[in-house]
Chain A
Amino acid sequence: MIGRPVGQEVTSDFDLARDAASGKEAAFETLVRRYQGAVRGVCRRLTRHAAEADDVAQAAFLMAWRKIGSYRGGSFKSWICTIAYREFLQARRRKKIEVEFDENTHILAFDSSAARLPEQLDLDRALKTLPENQRICVVLCVATGMSHSEAAAATGFPLGTVKSHVNRGVAALRKQLAAESVA
């Protein structure tokens, strides 16, 4: 869980979601504050563009607000990240259509202006080298903590394919991170 104060009683995600479902905006705001890092992180790793990622993340939270009544417990992080993944797919479809009609569209470079630890820069760089489906599976399972079956349900990939992508992706990431730390 991200951003929870230590030593204080924290309202559970389930209770917050139930309150949000009855129209309490403050409860939903707490959930947004709690999971914005995870959702924005997932969107950045999927889209590889900071500005576009925040648009997708915002769309994901708005969709979550509309569908909060369908949350039935379990990991809220997995639930919201699944929504974020679907929003990413929709945004990518829209973008493909736009690019088809506007050949002058420029793809923005990934925003690396924020100060980050060298190992995090290495992680970003290593992640970018993975094939897309492998990257998606690594992001969902390793970065968001989804189980393989949750990721399979979210992506529509067979469970064995997800496991294979994650194992290969993790191995490739480790290999690259080790190589960069040696160099």
Chain B
Amino acid sequence: MRTDERYDDLTALFEAQDEALQNEVFVKQVMKPIRRRSRWRAPLLFGAGGIGLGAALSQIGGVWDAIKAQAPTSIDADLSLSLDALPSAQVALDTQSIWVIAAALMVLSCAVLVMTERA
């Protein structure tokens, strides 16, 4: 806050000038580019997010198949569950979770960007 009040008379003159400058056309000029940018920002971000999500989801099946192929012993092929199979199943589950979390984070990031970022 201003502490020096010795020029209130001059400040009043300047404020009178400022009042006379009120103009709705100027407000529209300022808001026009802001609105234009906002129109394409959300579809663009959600579009990019959607593509990322699609790519992530498509990877889940591939990883699952790769893990299954690498596992030497599966439960349905051989009921004797070896110690080696257990870590493989765990890896498959973890990998799936990582992709799902990554996809969720991507969507969440896009949503946060759209909600918070300006212009």
Interface residues of A, Cβ cutoff 8 Å to B: 2-3, 20-23, 25, 28-29, 32-33, 36-38, 40-41, 44, 54, 57-58, 61-62, 65-66, 68-69, 75, 114, 116-117, 119-120, 123, 141-143, 145-148, 166, 170, 173-174
Contacts and interface: CB of A to CB of B under 8 A. Distances in A.
B83 interface: no
Given A21-B118, A69-B118, A142-B10, A114 B29 contact: no
A57 B7 CA distance: 25
B26 interface: yes
Contacts of B17: 41, 116, 120, 123
B78 interface: no
A145 B22 contact: no
**CB-CB nearest 6 A-B residue pairs:** A37-B18, A143-B14, A41-B18, A37-B21, A61-B30, A40-B21
A14 B66 CA distance: 55
26 contacts: A3-B22, A20-B118, A23-B38, A23-B114, A23-B117, A25-B31, A25-B35, A32-B27, A32-B31, A36-B26, A37-B20, A37-B21, A40-B18, A40-B21, A40-B23, A75-B1, A117-B16, A120-B13, A120-B16, A123-B10, A123-B13, A123-B14, A141-B2, A143-B18, A146-B2, A166-B4
A173 B20 contact: no
A2 B23 CA distance: 13
Interface of B: 1-4, 6-7, 10-11, 13-24, 26-27, 29-31, 33-35, 38, 114-119
B7 A68 contact: no
B108 to A, nearest CB: 16
Contacts of A166: 4, 7
Contacts of B1: 75, 147
A143 B30 contact: no
Nearest to B114: A23
